Structure formats: C-alpha cells, structure tokens
Chains A and B, each alone.
Chain A
Amino acid sequence: MIKQLRRGIQWLKNLKLAQKLILINSVLIVIPLGALGVYAFSSFRGTMEANVGESQLQTMKQITLNIDTYMEELNRLSLMPYQYQDILDYLASERKPGSSLSLEEISLLNNFVSKVFLNGRIDIMGVSLYGSKGASYVVMPESQYVTSYKLDEDAEWLKEAQGHFGEPIFLTTHELKPTSGSVYEVFSIVRELRSFDSGQTIGYIVLDVDPAVVGTILAQVQLGRNESLYITNAAGDIVISKGSVVPGADGAAASFRGEGVTHLETNGERMLVSYATSELTQWTTVGAVPVSELMQDSVQVRNSIMIMGMVCIGSAMLFSVFTAYRITLPIRKLSRLMKKVEKGQLEVTFPVNQWDEVGQLGSAFNKMVSRLSELGYLLYETEIREKDAQIAALQSKINPHFLYNTLGSISMYAELEGSKEITTMTNNLSRILRYSLNAHQSGVVLKDEIEHIRSYMAIQKLRYDERLHFTLDIAAEAMDCAVIPLMIQPIVENSFKHGLDKGVGEGRISLAGGIQDGLLRLTVEDDGIGLTTAQLEHIRRQLAYSRDLGGETGNGLLNVHRRLVLCYGERYGLTIDSMPYRGVRVTLTIPAKPIPSHRETEAAAVFHSTS
C-alpha cells in the first residue's frame, strides 16, 4: 500500500512539468465542479420532490374542497323536507306499501321532488323518500314515482344513517336500476329525518347523484401520465376513481385518513402518494404518481448540469492544457538547448523575451554557455601548449645521458689537452641541457632560471667573445620567486637576434630584475637595431590579441607571453619598448610568489657578473 503510494508519488514526480500542471488543474476543476454539480442536483431533486409532494397535497385538498362544496349543496338539499311540513306529515303517516296516493298527495310530492330536481346546480338522478311507517315515494330516472318501496331495515346504509344525529352519510357509487332497463351509476347522500316534537325518526331522504360531477372534478386534475386518483370512503371502499388505484395490503385500494404525503412501493415502483380526508363526507381523496415520472424533469436538469459541466470542464481543460504547454515551452526549449550543450555544441543562445524566472534562467544560461565556451578555448590552448612543450622536451631528451657522457668526455679531454675554453663550454652546455630537459618540472624558482641564463651566456660569451657585454642585476629577494621555466631564455635569444646579430650597437645585453609592489619584474635590454614604430605596434598587437602560439617559427616572445598569460592571467606577461637604433627593452611581469621552503638552503646571494 505504502509502496504503491510511494510509487504513485514517484510517478507524479517523474511526470513532465506540463503534465503535472494539467493534472493539478484537472483535479482543481473537476473535483469542485463535480462536487458542486452533485450537491446542487441532489438538493434540487430533494426540494423538487418535497415541492411536488406539497403541491400534490394542495391539489388533493383542493379536490376535497371542491367536492365538499358540492356535497355541502347536496347536504343542504337533503334538508329540504324540513321546509315542507306536508312532506314530513306524509312520511310520518302510516301506510301500506304500494297504497295509492290522492291527487293532492301526488301533486305535493311531485312538486317537492321537482323542486329537489331543479334546485341548485346539482344533477339529481333520483330522489327517494322513505317513511318509517311504510310511506315511500321513490323517483328514479326514466320512470314514474313508485310508492311500493318498503324500507329494508337491514340495509347497510340505513344502519349507518341511524344514530348520526341527523347528519348525512354519503354512500359510495352504486348502481341504480329503474324499470326502463337502463342502469345508472350514482352515489347517494342519506339523511335521517326526525321530528322535533317527538324526537322520533320520521324517515329518510336519499338523493342519488350522478358521479360524473365528482368525476369532472377529478378529471380536471392531472397529476401525471400514470396517475392514480381516487376517492375512498371511511370504510376504504372506492367512491370514484380515475386511473388505476394504489393497491393496499389486502389487494384493495390503499386507504388513508387525515392528510399528508407519503411514499409507497407498488409493483416495484415508488409512488408519491398524497391524500386529504374531507370532514364533511369522510371521504379521502388519494392521488399517487410514480416518483420516476415526477422526477423526469430533474433528469433533464441532471443532464443539463452534466452537459454544462462537461462543457465547462472540457473548455477549462483545453485552456489548462494550452497554458501549461505555453508556460513550459521556454523551459522545454532551454532543456533542448542544454542537451545540445551537453553534446558540446556551444554555439547556442536562448532567446530571452520575458523577464520572469524563465527569462532570467535563459539569460543565465546564455551567460553560462558563453563563459563555458571561453573556458573551453583556454583549456584547449593550454593543453596544446603543454603538448608542444612536452614534445619539444621529448625531442631534446633523446638519450641525454649519452650527451652528458659525451660532453663529460669532451670536458675531460679538453682538460687533459689544457683547453680551458672547451672545458668551460662543455660544462655550461651540459648544465643548460640538464636544465632544459628538466624544464617541465615544477617548483622552478628564479635562481634556477638565472643559473640557466648564466650558463647560456657563458657559451654565448665564447661564441661572441669581445662583442658581447652581458650584465646581470637581480635583487636577491627575487631569487626565490616561483617562475615558469625557460621563460627568460627566449627573450635573451631575441636580444641576440635583434641586438648582436644585426651588427648594430655595442652588443650590450642586460638582465635586471626585482620585486616591486608584489610583482616580479625582469627587464632584458639590448642596444641593437631596435624596432620601428610599425614593428613595435605589430608586436604589441600580437601580444595583446593573438592567440596564435607562433609554432616553431613563431616569435619566441609571443610564446613566452602566451604562456605567462595562460599561467597567471591577462594582467601579466611581456611588454616591449623600443626606439629605432637604440635597442629593445622587454619587461616581464609576473606575480611575485616566493617559495620559502626552497630546497637550496644557501643564503640568497647577489649575482653580479660582468663579462
């Protein structure tokens, strides 16, 4: 688990910068938007369901109210017999069922019934008057009145109507079969009629009403496509229904009391059921609609939210991808350039267009690359020079012992022969050779270099004899300074070339030196032909700018100068002064770095010689 997590984190870390940005943005966009969408939708759905339930309940109440209004009218209508004492008298009279009526009675009852029929806005289908002592007057649709009905004491409705304190009861839809053969569906209101004087029950009035009116009230309401809308009486029997009914536990219609909203599961479908019971009729109006149907709109909302969410996320993601790539573009370019540099391609530049971190990075990169290429060049040059020196050394190393031995033999013979010059020359030559061949060794101090020059000059003295006047004047404290080997000899050689070989001047060459301001300064002067201004300029320019090593044929001065610059830096090296026919003065300047632990323990001595 932790391993996996670690691996995941590592994977994340290894992702490209742009991918990381995209990933982070996606998370930042998708999660809040998704959560918001889910929250908004679920709360919307909840509210909607509650609202629908509430409005459905209101509808049920409205239906109940409408029906009650109607029933109230029916209720009032059923009170009509109390306004006609004659009717009450007729009902209270003792009669045999079917006994004929007098013309007055016929007229009275017919008038009364006609009034009931025509009264109000109610479509009465039948009026029945039952007296408790056998009188009856029943009018049904399409038939004449009948007086032969006997009150069935066992009838359910009669029992129900009794003891209601004269309050009416409402009978659910039942069939009325008059003699004409037609069958009528009616529901009825039954009222017990009582005498105020005796408190006895006089009889009953039953009004049969076309249920179409209630049906019309129900028909005006549309809860949904698969609605169930029905009315049950107190006993749970269906009064009237529109659409299917919600089956209850026993298979019959589910009945409710009071008012409220609830959920029921029927046939695997969740139904939103609302119901309201009428105080007047004790009938309960029940409306049920499948929740899925009600929520159809919410599905639309959900889809809209989802589509909008997708569009938002999509466009945000596109934008995110675009910006991520846009932002990392310079970084990727930099990375590509770095790879090129890695391969050694240093001629690259990063175009800096902006001054943000990336711009600064690019500019730093540019600086770094240019510095790198410079350093590379210097290193290269040093290496080449080093190699040259080594090759030269190797060349001169060709059997040095043989040379030493030969020189030793020559010196010995010369001594035996008494030729002092040859002995001196060979000894000096041997010394020069030894120094030159060991020149690559480090830790050379000025003293060694001066010794070497001295030997060199001793030989040259024999060659040039009286024409050479060499003076050496070096401050003693300078003798222990570290120097580059063989750095003075080319300068002195140059003096021979320009001073003695051209045959101008007295052949004076002087080497002077000392420490001044922490710098070791050596000066080689001759009194030769000197340099013209142009020549001097040329040489100076060469010293300043040329990186040419000069090669074998090159200028010895240039070589020394480059070596000094490479070794000590641009500030050091050679400077040349010259006047035509007045000689040349070459000044060598390097930092004075005395090496105190010099292996030669002899006290510093002032070399002074005049030849």
Chain B
Amino acid sequence: MKRHRWSKHRSGAAIGFAWAVLLLLLPGCTGQNPGSEPISKPHHVVRLEYWTPFSGGDNQFMTEMVERFNKEHPEIQVVQKNSRLDDYYSRLKTAVLSGNAPDVAIVHSTIMPQFVQNGYVEKLTMEAKDLGIDWKRFNPNILRSVLYEDDYYGVPLDTHALVMYYNKDWLSEAGVLDEAGRPIIQKGPDGFKSFLEQIRRRVPADIAPLAQPSTRIDSVWLWWSLYNQLTDGGQFYSEDGTEAVFNNPAALKALSFVNDLYKDKLIPSDINDAFQLFYDGKAAVLITGMWGTGAFEKAEGLQFGVVPVPTIYDYPAVWGDSHNLSIPKKRGMTEEKREAVLTFANWIVGHGDMWAEAGHVPSMTELTRSEMFNRLEYRSDYAATANYVAYWPRNAKQWSINERIISEFERMIYGYQTPEEALDAAVKKINADLRK
C-alpha cells in the first residue's frame, strides 16, 4: 500500500517536472518571431544615391557604367536617379535645402560656385588624396573649374562643349561635303550662312538646314560661343564682377548672327526637339553638345559626321561645361559613405573611356591621349575643343543668370524683341539680380 502510494507520488512529480520543462521551453520558442529573425545575412553594403541630369542620350552610357561599377564592387551599391536637366537643379537644390540630398550628385562647373559659396558640397582634397585620386592626372583646364582657393569640390568627369553634327547624306546632296566626308564651309559669318543656304536649296523642304530648338538654352550656348570668338568679346561681367556688361557691340554682333539664322529660317521655327530631329534624319546640321555622339551612333540609317563648331569670327572658342561628381553636404554623411563615393568617383573618371563613348571628352589627360580614345570615331575630331572651351564666368548666381538670358533670347527668337532689346533686357534683369 505504502509502496503504491509512493510510486503514484513519483509519477506525479515527473509530470510536474515535464510541465515545468515545457513551460520553460514554450515561451522561449514563441518569443522567436519568425519575421524578426534575419533570414539571410547579407554582407554589409554601402548604398549610394547618385543623382544625374543626363537627358541628351548620354544617360544610357552612365547607367551602363553604374551597373558595371556595382558588379565590380559588391560592397557598394550605387543607385542612379536621373532627371531631366530642366528640373534637375530645382530638385537638387530642394534636396540640399531639405536635408535629404543624394550621397553623390553631378554638379556642372557653371553652377559649382553657388554650391561652393554656400557650402552645399564637401571639400574633397584630403579624402581624395587618401583614396588615390591624383589631381595631376586631370586636364588642368577642366580641373580649374572645381578648384576654389586651394580646395577641390568635385571630381571632374568630363568636358562637354558644343560641336557641329552634320548629316552626310544631306550635305553630299547639297554638295558641301568634301571627299574626306567633312563639310565645306567658307570663312566668316557669311561663309557659314551660305553653307546653310546651299543646303536649304538642295534638300527637301522638311529637312532643317540647321536644327536648333526655339526654346531653352541652345541659342544661348551658340551666342556665347560666337561672342567668345570675337577679339573684343567674351566679357560677361565688369572687372569688379558687380554688373553684367554683355550689352556691347561684340555681343550684339554675335547675337544678331544667331537671330538671323532663326529669322532667315535657316533654323526652322518651332523646333522643340532638335536632337530628335537630327536623330531622325530630319536635319542636315545640328549644333549641340558632344553628348549626342553616342546616341547618334546608335541611330539606324543615320550617316553623320561631327566637327568642332566652325570658327566664324576671330579665333576658336566654344561654349563648354564640365560634369563633376560632388558630395552634397548633409547630416547623414558618414565616413564610410564618403569613402565609397570617392571610390565610385575615382572609378567613374578612371573609366572615362566608357563615358567618352557617350561623346564627352574625358577629364583625364591620359585618357584623351590614349589609343582607346583616339580609336573612337568622331571623338578625336573634337577632343581638342576641350582646350578652348569658354566656360561661363564663375559666379554664384550664374545658373539663374543664364535662365534670364534664356527667357530673353526665347522672346527674341519668337520675334517679341530685337537682339539689342534682348541683350539690354537681360543685362538689366541680371544686374537687378546681382544687386539683390
């Protein structure tokens, strides 16, 4: 009897023990939320947001480069975000002001002063040196555009300047193509005009002799190039930089020439997308940035050539700008990200030959001298352009000042005002802006 009771007691104890074990066990398990458990532990990846303003057919080349960089650098993931140039700086400025700027952004040399002056981009000197960015390897003309005092504020990617594309089929039909496939243009403004007139006479009416959009900055670029070709031209600001002074005869001369092209319908009116027009073979000549080369090469049935913008006046000069990779200032910037950005920038400029395929002139001298680059058709034809590029003057407000000029020129092209009035209006408005 006693024995039986004892055994009962013991099995009771065993069950109690089992309960205790289970109770201890269960919460430990239910506590593991299956969702919270990292299912696969990816190695640490630095994610970089990269903003670009490429809208001229060159973006596909940048996308390719970014993809290749990501493939070669599994520890860095660059996410490119491209917007049209029209909105790009509004977007970037807003982002900078609202504290959610990208980790790396393309900043044009023209707008760089504004970013530098207000401390919107980081100095690169120290960090770049540590990462093996050798400033001596860059084209000094290009490098100057990111050098402020003794500090660099961006890694120059390229120079892009205006060049002249021409449709070989239409030019040969017009009889202005030589045997080497180069356009035959007589010297001086009249020479250039007669070159276009010759084309207009020979090609079908729906083919633009010279394609230039009637809005936007293109006409300003052309004017700036021609203005800089004049011996007494190129002056934008007064010596002390406090006011704009381009309402002078030389500027008027250049602008009148441009205006005449529109007025004489050598540039057809109401062209929206000149690039597309040339791409589609609907234009004989196109003066635009060198970024179009890569895209035109891909255009089916387009036989085109490219030369530097002709020297219509006294000496060669052409509008140009540079793309630079800069680090916008923001709170969340870490040393790790900064390093990754510079690694990326170094890689991108080091692979300038890839970028050159889009049409730009790489910023590294060794690349422009390289066989690779020179083997590329067309690019070598205009690589020298980089040496006489006429940058916009360094002014913190240059970008918005250009906007003023654009809108005045647009009004001129649409016939609302004369070139003289356009220049005066622009200078007046710009001076008002400068006094602010």
By the criterion CB–CB under 8 Å, are B29 and A304 in contact?
Answer: yes
Partner of A118, one of B26, B40, B94: B94
- Give every chain A residue within 8 A of B273 (Cβ-Cβ): 143-146, 179
Confirm or deny: B114 has a beta carbon within 8 angstroms of a beta carbon on chain A: no
B77 CB to closest chain A CB (Å) equals: 12
A244-271 interface code vs B (CB 8 A; 1 in, 0 out): 0000000000000000000000000000
Partner of B2, one of A144, A146, A300, A356: A356
Confirm or deny: B84 has a beta carbon within 8 angstroms of a beta carbon on chain A: yes
A44-72 interface code vs B (CB 8 A; 1 in, 0 out): 10011000100100010000000000000
A458 CB to closest chain B CB (Å) equals: 74
Confirm or deny: B382 has a beta carbon within 8 angstroms of a beta carbon on chain A: no
- Give every chain A residue within 8 A of B2 (Cβ-Cβ): 356-357
Confirm or deny: A368 has a beta carbon within 8 angstroms of a beta carbon on chain B: no
Separation of A103 and B84 alpha carbons in the complex (Å): 20
Separation of A591 and B275 alpha carbons in the complex (Å): 154
Separation of A294 and B35 alpha carbons in the complex (Å): 9
Separation of A181 and B411 alpha carbons in the complex (Å): 32
Most buried by B among A143, A296, A357: A143
Confirm or deny: B295 has a beta carbon within 8 angstroms of a beta carbon on chain A: yes
- Give every chain A residue within 8 A of B63 (Cβ-Cβ): 182
By the criterion CB–CB under 8 Å, are B91 and A25 in contact?
Answer: no
Confirm or deny: A320 has a beta carbon within 8 angstroms of a beta carbon on chain B: yes
A172-206 interface code vs B (CB 8 A; 1 in, 0 out): 00000001111000000000000000000000000
Partner of A110, one of B83, B86, B279, B411: B86
Confirm or deny: A566 has a beta carbon within 8 angstroms of a beta carbon on chain B: no
Confirm or deny: A225 has a beta carbon within 8 angstroms of a beta carbon on chain B: yes
Q: Contacts A24-B7, A181-B298: A316 and B14 contacting too (C-beta < 8 A)?
A: yes
Q: Contacts A36-B19, A101-B270, A181-B57: A144 and B11 contacting too (C-beta < 8 A)?
A: no
**CB proximity to B under 8 Å, residues A278-322:** 294, 296-298, 300-301, 304-305, 308-309, 312, 316, 319-320
A115 CB to closest chain B CB (Å) equals: 10
B31 CB to closest chain A CB (Å) equals: 10
- Measured CB to CB, the nearest residue on chain A to B280 is A179
Q: Would you call the interface of chain A mostly helix, strand, loop, or mixed? A: helix
Separation of A225 and B39 alpha carbons in the complex (Å): 6
- Measured CB to CB, the nearest residue on chain A to B38 is A222
- Give every chain B residue within 8 A of A32 (Cβ-Cβ): 11, 14-15, 18
Q: Contacts A142-B59, A182-B60: A44 and B29 contacting too (C-beta < 8 A)?
A: yes
A369 CB to closest chain B CB (Å) equals: 25
Separation of A131 and B388 alpha carbons in the complex (Å): 47
Most buried by A among B7, B11, B91, B410: B11
Separation of A222 and B36 alpha carbons in the complex (Å): 9
- Give every chain B residue within 8 A of A224 (Cβ-Cβ): 34, 39
Separation of A37 and B32 alpha carbons in the complex (Å): 19
**CB proximity to B under 8 Å, residues A100-159:** 100-103, 106, 110, 114, 117-118, 123, 139, 141-147
Confirm or deny: A384 has a beta carbon within 8 angstroms of a beta carbon on chain B: no
Confirm or deny: B10 has a beta carbon within 8 angstroms of a beta carbon on chain A: yes
Confirm or deny: A223 has a beta carbon within 8 angstroms of a beta carbon on chain B: yes
Confirm or deny: A450 has a beta carbon within 8 angstroms of a beta carbon on chain B: no
Confirm or deny: A327 has a beta carbon within 8 angstroms of a beta carbon on chain B: yes
Separation of A48 and B27 alpha carbons in the complex (Å): 12
B297 CB to closest chain A CB (Å) equals: 10
Confirm or deny: B269 has a beta carbon within 8 angstroms of a beta carbon on chain A: yes
A302 CB to closest chain B CB (Å) equals: 10
Q: Contacts A40-B22, A44-B30: A142 and B11 contacting too (C-beta < 8 A)?
A: no
B206 CB to closest chain A CB (Å) equals: 12
B66-106 interface code vs A (CB 8 A; 1 in, 0 out): 00000000000000011110110011001000000000000
**CB proximity to A under 8 Å, residues B102-123:** none
Confirm or deny: B25 has a beta carbon within 8 angstroms of a beta carbon on chain A: yes
Q: Would you call the interface of chain B mostly helix, strand, loop, or mixed? A: helix
- Measured CB to CB, the nearest residue on chain A to B37 is A297
By the criterion CB–CB under 8 Å, are A100 and B14 in contact?
Answer: no
Separation of A182 and B84 alpha carbons in the complex (Å): 14
By the criterion CB–CB under 8 Å, are A146 and B18 in contact?
Answer: no
Partner of A25, one of B11, B55, B90, B215: B11
Separation of A182 and B40 alpha carbons in the complex (Å): 34
By the criterion CB–CB under 8 Å, are B82 and A141 in contact?
Answer: yes
Confirm or deny: A29 has a beta carbon within 8 angstroms of a beta carbon on chain B: yes
- Measured CB to CB, the nearest residue on chain A to B276 is A179
Separation of A330 and B434 alpha carbons in the complex (Å): 115
A355 CB to closest chain B CB (Å) equals: 12
By the criterion CB–CB under 8 Å, are A312 and B21 in contact?
Answer: yes
By the criterion CB–CB under 8 Å, are B57 and A25 in contact?
Answer: no
Confirm or deny: B313 has a beta carbon within 8 angstroms of a beta carbon on chain A: no
- Give every chain B residue within 8 A of A100 (Cβ-Cβ): 269-270, 272
- Give every chain A residue within 8 A of B331 (Cβ-Cβ): none
B237-255 interface code vs A (CB 8 A; 1 in, 0 out): 0000000000000000000
B351 CB to closest chain A CB (Å) equals: 19
Separation of A123 and B40 alpha carbons in the complex (Å): 30
Separation of A147 and B19 alpha carbons in the complex (Å): 77
- Give every chain A residue within 8 A of B298 (Cβ-Cβ): 181
Separation of A320 and B94 alpha carbons in the complex (Å): 79
Q: Contacts A118-B87, A143-B273: A103 and B57 contacting too (C-beta < 8 A)?
A: no
- Give every chain A residue within 8 A of B308 (Cβ-Cβ): none
Separation of A29 and B87 alpha carbons in the complex (Å): 77
Separation of A28 and B3 alpha carbons in the complex (Å): 15
Separation of A44 and B25 alpha carbons in the complex (Å): 11
Separation of A123 and B416 alpha carbons in the complex (Å): 36
- Give every chain A residue within 8 A of B215 (Cβ-Cβ): 103, 106
A308-342 interface code vs B (CB 8 A; 1 in, 0 out): 11001000100110010001000000000000000
- Give every chain B residue within 8 A of A327 (Cβ-Cβ): 3
Confirm or deny: B305 has a beta carbon within 8 angstroms of a beta carbon on chain A: no
Separation of A327 and B34 alpha carbons in the complex (Å): 50
**CB proximity to A under 8 Å, residues B134-176:** none
Confirm or deny: B310 has a beta carbon within 8 angstroms of a beta carbon on chain A: no
Confirm or deny: A414 has a beta carbon within 8 angstroms of a beta carbon on chain B: no
Partner of B276, one of A139, A144, A305, A309: A144
Confirm or deny: B257 has a beta carbon within 8 angstroms of a beta carbon on chain A: no
- Measured CB to CB, the nearest residue on chain B to A224 is B39
- Give every chain A residue within 8 A of B37 (Cβ-Cβ): 297
B7 CB to closest chain A CB (Å) equals: 6
Separation of A243 and B365 alpha carbons in the complex (Å): 46
Confirm or deny: B352 has a beta carbon within 8 angstroms of a beta carbon on chain A: no
Most buried by A among B3, B279, B298, B416: B3
Separation of A37 and B14 alpha carbons in the complex (Å): 13
By the criterion CB–CB under 8 Å, are A25 and B7 in contact?
Answer: yes
Most buried by B among A59, A144, A145, A225: A144
Separation of A118 and B98 alpha carbons in the complex (Å): 13
Separation of A180 and B213 alpha carbons in the complex (Å): 17
A38 CB to closest chain B CB (Å) equals: 11
Confirm or deny: A87 has a beta carbon within 8 angstroms of a beta carbon on chain B: no
By the criterion CB–CB under 8 Å, are A142 and B15 in contact?
Answer: no
Measuring CB to CB, which residues of chain A are less than 8 angstroms from any residue of chain B? 21, 24-25, 28-29, 32-33, 36-37, 40, 44, 47-48, 52, 55, 59, 100-103, 106, 110, 114, 117-118, 123, 139, 141-147, 179-182, 222-225, 294, 296-298, 300-301, 304-305, 308-309, 312, 316, 319-320, 323, 327, 356-357
Known: A24-B7, A32-B11, A118-B94. 17 other contacts (CB 8 A): A37-B18, A47-B30, A100-B270, A103-B214, A142-B55, A145-B272, A180-B55, A180-B59, A181-B295, A182-B59, A182-B63, A224-B34, A297-B34, A297-B37, A309-B21, A312-B14, A357-B2
Please list the 5 inter-chain residue pairs (A to B) with the smallest Cβ-Cβ separation, ordered nearest first. A100-B270, A28-B11, A144-B273, A301-B29, A103-B414
Measuring CB to CB, which residues of chain B are less than 8 angstroms from any residue of chain A? 2-3, 7, 10-11, 14-15, 17-19, 21-22, 25-26, 29-30, 32-35, 37, 39-40, 54-57, 59-60, 63, 81-84, 86-87, 90-91, 94, 213-215, 269-270, 272-273, 275-276, 279, 295, 298, 410-411, 414, 416
- 6 pairs, A vs B, C-beta closer than 8 Å: A25-B11, A55-B33, A118-B94, A142-B57, A145-B272, A312-B14
